[in-house]
């Protein structure tokens, strides 16, 4: 993946992370994206209101499928705050219904 344009979307002055294992700042965010086995497989829904955007996605992290909600606060056209919620997606054979997706 190419993250050379990350600064076009994420504030270089302020990025507050509410993820428990992620330090604040764009450098920590970029380091995570470039050093971890983490990939957005599919974005299902994006909802925005005011200066908040929520995305609902399927992510592959360390070979585990996850359902992920990301919440972003935007200021001056760039991400300045981030929250997330991740939940493992069990194998299809274990689904009790049609699943999240």
Report how many domains make up the chain: 1
Dump pLDDT digits (tens) for 18-45. Answer: 988 889 999 999 998 889 898 999 999 9
Prediction pTM value: 0.86
- Specify the DSSP class assigned to residue 39: E
Structure tokens that stand for 17 in this block = 């992370």
Task: Write the CATH number for 60.
Answer: 3.10.450.50
Residue 25 lies in a domain: yes
Residue 5 lies in a domain: no
Residue 100 lies in a domain: no
Residue 2 lies in a domain: no
Residue 66 lies in a domain: yes
Residue 99 lies in a domain: no
Residue 44 lies in a domain: yes
Question: CA torsion angle for 60, 63, 64, 70 (degrees, to 10)?
Answer: -20
Across the chain, mean pLDDT equals 91
Strands 38-49 and 52-61: antiparallel
The boundaries of the domain holding residue 66 are 11-89
């Amino acid at each position: 993946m190419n993250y050379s344009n990350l600064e076009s979307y994420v504030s270089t002055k302020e990025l507050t992370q509410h993820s428990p294992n992620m330090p604040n700042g764009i450098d920590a965010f970029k380091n995570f994206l470039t050093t971890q086995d983490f990939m957005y497989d599919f974005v299902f829904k994006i909802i925005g209101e005011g200066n908040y955007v929520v995305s609902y996605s399927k992510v592959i992290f360390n070979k585990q499928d996850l359902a992920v909600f990301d919440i972003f606060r935007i200021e001056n056209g760039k991400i300045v705050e981030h929250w997330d919620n991740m939940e493992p997606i069990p194998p299809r054979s274990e689904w009790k219904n049609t699943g999240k997706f």
